[in-house]
A and B are shown apart, each in its own frame.
Chain A
Amino acid sequence: MDMNKIRMQLMLCGGTGCDSTGSDKVRAALQEEIEKQDLSEEVAIVITGCNGFCAVGPVMVVQPEGVFYQKIQPEDAKELVTEHCLHGRPVERLFYKNPATKKKIGRMAEIPFFASQEFRAMRNKGLIDPELIDEAIARDGYFGLAKVLSEMSPEDIIDEMMASGLRGRGGAGFPAGAKWRFAKWADGDEKYVLCNADEGDPGAFMDRSILESDPHAVLEGMAIAARAINAHKGYIYCRSEYPLAIKRLHIAIDQANAYGLLGDDILGSGFNFDVEVYQGAGAFVCGEETALMRSIEGKRGMPIPRPPFPAYKGLWGKPTILNNVETLANVAQIILNGGAWYASIGTETSKGTKVFALSGDVANIGLVEVPMGTSLRSLVYDIGGGVPGKRTFKAVQLGGPSGGCVPEEHLDTPIDYEAIAKVGAIMGSGGAIVMDNTTCMVDMARYFMDFIQDESCGKCTPCREGTKRILTILEDICKGKGKDGDIEELESLCHVVGHTALCGLGQTAPNPVLSTLRYFRDEFEAHIYDKTCPAKTCPDLVKFEVDPEACKRCGLCAKGCPADAITWHKKEVAVIDKDKCIKCMSCYDRCKFDAIL
């Protein structure tokens, strides 16, 4: 293909989200149509990594105009190629429609979801073909590494990282530069650089997306870190649930090795650095640094007490640094533009940008990167488009099983490590799950405790036994068997587990319970004392009766009942037969008028 003749590029998203909604079939249809209309010389299809706006996939951006198409089907290919590619008339039918104004928006930059974002870690998303190293290089890929190898000493690199104020994006927020400095100071002929791509928090997918859309940025960040501490071997620990990310990493490493940007004697500098991908085997605890290292050593992924910290004694007992994918994706830009550039946005203690995976009960589900200091309200409403339909916002859950819920009254909290911790949540790795008024907070606490209890490695007693006890109490409360004193018992157990567990997983495990207790204590009390679930989510506390006042006699509930337990005749209130009812909640989900009690 002669790139000089190409006048138009169709950047079709090939990320996990769009792939599953059929972007591969769309690509085939577009390709066929382009060939049929003899446009192969002028129009090219580029399969990009995750675009971020997963909710409306498959998505495509036509460059250079920047026109954004959503929910494309293979049948749309003919119209798209004929109208847009040949005649230059964009197909409005496939534009994004702003739910607030009901207006169609054609340009990607004008869609509110994208407009308030600032791309740094995700600067290449949707702009390059992640399987072609040349495209990464054309966007300054490996320039940071070249600069480091030719004109910077290891101390310079660390100074620049310190100046940037970049803090670990995996959740704990430890300054990346400081971690590197400790590892540089540590004695040892052999050192390791690890990348934590074991993104285990449910509801978080930013690392997957970065690896799928710009794997070279992560490799370059690792190589720069390796230069700073003088390591020659790196591992990327990636969870096996991300097959596409693993495939792209392998391709990227092979290409970088072939170009002499990884491997022996990088760019003729005499510096060697090899990277290997290590696939996880499904254990949430392996996201904890010491457990991750045990797993790479081929053992059970159980944490060990710190100190000694991995910077002194990590993988195979050698000095090791472990950084998260998003942290590493920022490194090359910091080196190229300077630490001061990176620190120019953000708050006093939190610099730069943070990527969030916005999901749950929110209109615009997807991946967003915002400057630190942006308010949570802006994240949920301006970018996320708020809660769809008639339901109302209840809370946003940040930080997954180690985090907490932020209710309406604290939505003006800025995105900042310290400010978020103050309201009882954590920045975490970036999962942001919006919950509406139909989400039961007791059930949510139970859900997270069930997760932690299942994923606890079992090594230390407080986590193994404590989480089990907390879960039992929460399950009882959800089943209507809660009793007086349960709340106090929960608080006391949470206190013990938080203070005595061995690793981060156990120490933060009580957070979801404590934060829901803090803001939604009344819901716990309603479950325990009144035996009701205000959100009507806990099947044992829902009466499965129809409220004749609220019922609009539409019959939707009866049509969807799998057990034929609902009788309904036109213009009459539906009746639920409790003997037949299997408490599957489908009537409740279907009723638009909240008429099922």
Chain B
Amino acid sequence: MESIMIKRIHPHHPDIDGAMWERIDGIIEAGRGKPGALITVLRECQDVVRYLPRELLSYVSSGLNIPVSQVFGVATFYSFFSLTPKGRHIIKACTGTACYVKGIKESLNRIHGKYNLKEGGTTADRRFSLEGVRCLGACGLAPVMVVDKDIHGAVSSDKVIQILENYK
């Protein structure tokens, strides 16, 4: 049974504008009725808004006709999804074994010292978000850090601030 949405009312949200809602509708449309589409829909929605506000989760729930509890459950289970706003630049620090052995911990300490930023946090000015990620599979370059889409290898504690200062 296909659910029929008559006229969609977009909830008001400061971080989502009209064009974004259009794209979100397209994503939900493509996933509707497709078994197992929830994770894909959430990922694509997060690509649009950069995080998943609660209002958006409810909207996805009604759009896909999936209980909001299940949508919320999935969104909080996977580390890829964030329910809080992200900074302009996302730092992904690899905390895999090789990077750990090669000293990523010291680099993280430096970041904390300079920007008062801890794993999972965002700076007050929303400049950086710091995520600890499990092995990026680039152990040859350990310790590794990905800022936005740029991979930085051999990020020693001496180099880390210098690298980050390039991201305003």
Q: For the complex, is A397 an interface residue (Cβ under 8 Å from B)? A: yes
Binds A, one of B8-16, B19-27, B121-129, B130-138: B130-138
Binds B, one of A37-45, A103-111, A353-361: A353-361
Size of chain A's interface in residues, with CB distance under 8 A? Answer: 59
Q: A199, B110: Cβ atoms under 8 Å?
A: no
Q: For the complex, is B103 an interface residue (Cβ under 8 Å from A)? A: yes
Most buried by B among A16, A359, A400: A359
Take A283-B78, A297-B36, A585-B106 as given contacts and tell me if A20 and B134 are in contact as well, using a CB distance cutoff of 8 Å. Answer: no
Q: B139, A365: Cβ atoms under 8 Å?
A: yes
Contacts of A263 in B (CB 8 A): none
How many A-B pairs with Cβ below 8 Å?
A: 153
Q: Identify which of A205, A300, A361 contacts B101 (C-beta below 8 A).
A: A361
In the bound complex, CA of A539 to CA of B144 (Å): 22
Q: A562, B113: Cβ atoms under 8 Å?
A: yes
Contacts of B109 in A (CB 8 A): 582, 584
Contacts of A201 in B (CB 8 A): 135
Q: Write 12 A-B pairs (CB below 8 A) sorted by A numbering.
A: A203-B96, A204-B135, A241-B133, A279-B43, A280-B80, A283-B78, A298-B35, A360-B142, A361-B101, A366-B140, A433-B97, A589-B103
Contacts of B36 in A (CB 8 A): 296-298
Closest to B66 in A: A298
Q: Identify which of A19, A582, A586 contacts B151 (C-beta below 8 A).
A: A19
A484 to chain B, nearest CB (A): 29
Q: For the complex, is A57 an interface residue (Cβ under 8 Å from B)? A: yes
Q: Identify which of A17, A295, A299 contacts B138 (C-beta below 8 A).
A: A17
Take A295-B39, A360-B101 as given contacts and tell me if A300 and B139 are in contact as well, using a CB distance cutoff of 8 Å. Answer: no
Contacts of B153 in A (CB 8 A): 17, 20-21
Take A17-B141, A397-B97, A433-B98 as given contacts and tell me if A560 and B158 are in contact as well, using a CB distance cutoff of 8 Å. Answer: yes
Q: For the complex, is A519 an interface residue (Cβ under 8 Å from B)? A: no
Q: For the complex, is A447 an interface residue (Cβ under 8 Å from B)? A: yes
Contacts of B157 in A (CB 8 A): 562, 584, 586, 589
Q: Identify which of A281, A365, A431, A455 contacts B81 (C-beta below 8 A).
A: A281
Q: For the complex, is A182 an interface residue (Cβ under 8 Å from B)? A: no
Contacts of A435 in B (CB 8 A): 101
Apart from A202-B135, A584-B113: 13 A-B pairs, beta carbons within 8 A: A20-B144, A20-B151, A21-B153, A241-B135, A280-B78, A283-B77, A298-B39, A359-B98, A360-B97, A365-B140, A448-B97, A582-B113, A586-B157
Q: For the complex, is B32 an interface residue (Cβ under 8 Å from A)? A: no
Binding site for B on A (CB under 8 A): 16-17, 19-21, 54-55, 57, 199-205, 208-209, 240-242, 278-284, 295-301, 316, 357, 359-361, 365-366, 397, 400, 431, 433, 435, 439, 447-448, 451, 455, 457, 560, 562, 582, 584-586, 589
Q: A205, B138: Cβ atoms under 8 Å?
A: yes
Contacts of A361 in B (CB 8 A): 101
Q: B96, A202: Cβ atoms under 8 Å?
A: yes
Q: Identify which of B38, B102, B106, B138 contacts A298 (C-beta below 8 A).
A: B38
Q: Mark B79-112, 1 if CB is under 8 A from A, else 0.
A: 1110000000000000111101111001001100
Contacts of B142 in A (CB 8 A): 359-360, 365
- Which 6 pairs from chain A and chain B are nearest by CB? A54-B140, A202-B96, A20-B151, A205-B137, A281-B78, A359-B139
Q: For the complex, is B73 an interface residue (Cβ under 8 Å from A)? A: yes
Q: Identify which of A21, A203, A366 contacts B97 (C-beta below 8 A).
A: A203
Q: Identify which of B98, B141, B150, B152 contacts A202 (C-beta below 8 A).
A: B98
In the bound complex, CA of A589 to CA of B50 (Å): 37
Q: For the complex, is B70 an interface residue (Cβ under 8 Å from A)? A: yes
Q: List B28-49 residues whose CB lies under 8 Å from chain A.
A: 35-40, 42-43
Closest to B101 in A: A360
Closest to A302 in B: B77
Q: For the complex, is B74 an interface residue (Cβ under 8 Å from A)? A: yes
B20 to chain A, nearest CB (A): 21
Contacts of A204 in B (CB 8 A): 135, 137
Q: B39, A281: Cβ atoms under 8 Å?
A: yes
Binding site for A on B (CB under 8 A): 35-40, 42-43, 70, 73-74, 77-81, 95-98, 100-103, 106, 109-110, 113, 133-142, 144, 150-153, 157-158
Q: A447, B100: Cβ atoms under 8 Å?
A: yes
Contacts of B79 in A (CB 8 A): 281-283
Q: Identify which of B74, B106, B151 contacts A299 (C-beta below 8 A).
A: B74
B142 to chain A, nearest CB (A): 7
Q: A562, B101: Cβ atoms under 8 Å?
A: no
Q: B78, A359: Cβ atoms under 8 Å?
A: no
Contacts of B158 in A (CB 8 A): 560, 586
Contacts of B80 in A (CB 8 A): 240, 280-282
Q: Identify which of B43, B77, B140, B150 contacts A55 (C-beta below 8 A).
A: B140
Closest to A203 in B: B97
Q: B134, A200: Cβ atoms under 8 Å?
A: yes
Q: A20, B74: Cβ atoms under 8 Å?
A: no
Contacts of A400 in B (CB 8 A): 97
A520 to chain B, nearest CB (A): 15
B77 to chain A, nearest CB (A): 4
Q: A284, B141: Cβ atoms under 8 Å?
A: no
In the bound complex, CA of A434 to CA of B89 (Å): 33
B111 to chain A, nearest CB (A): 12
Contacts of A451 in B (CB 8 A): 95, 134
Q: Identify which of B35, B81, B136 contacts A297 (C-beta below 8 A).
A: B35
Closest to A361 in B: B101
Q: B96, A17: Cβ atoms under 8 Å?
A: no
In the bound complex, CA of A54 to CA of B139 (Å): 8
Contacts of A447 in B (CB 8 A): 97, 100
Q: Identify which of B38, B96, B152 contacts A20 (C-beta below 8 A).
A: B152
In the bound complex, CA of A299 to CA of B42 (Å): 12
A316 to chain B, nearest CB (A): 7
In the bound complex, CA of A397 to CA of B139 (Å): 14
Contacts of B38 in A (CB 8 A): 298-299
Q: B77, A300: Cβ atoms under 8 Å?
A: yes
Q: B140, A200: Cβ atoms under 8 Å?
A: no
Contacts of A365 in B (CB 8 A): 98, 139-140, 142
Q: Identify which of A57, A299, A301 contacts B70 (C-beta below 8 A).
A: A299
B101 to chain A, nearest CB (A): 5
Contacts of B43 in A (CB 8 A): 240, 279, 281
Contacts of A433 in B (CB 8 A): 97-98, 101, 139
In the bound complex, CA of A351 to CA of B81 (Å): 41
In the bound complex, CA of A415 to CA of B133 (Å): 30
Take A281-B78, A584-B106, A589-B103 as given contacts and tell me if A54 and B35 are in contact as well, using a CB distance cutoff of 8 Å. Answer: no
Most buried by A among B39, B144, B150: B39
A589 to chain B, nearest CB (A): 7
Most buried by B among A54, A55, A200, A455: A54
Q: B73, A300: Cβ atoms under 8 Å?
A: yes
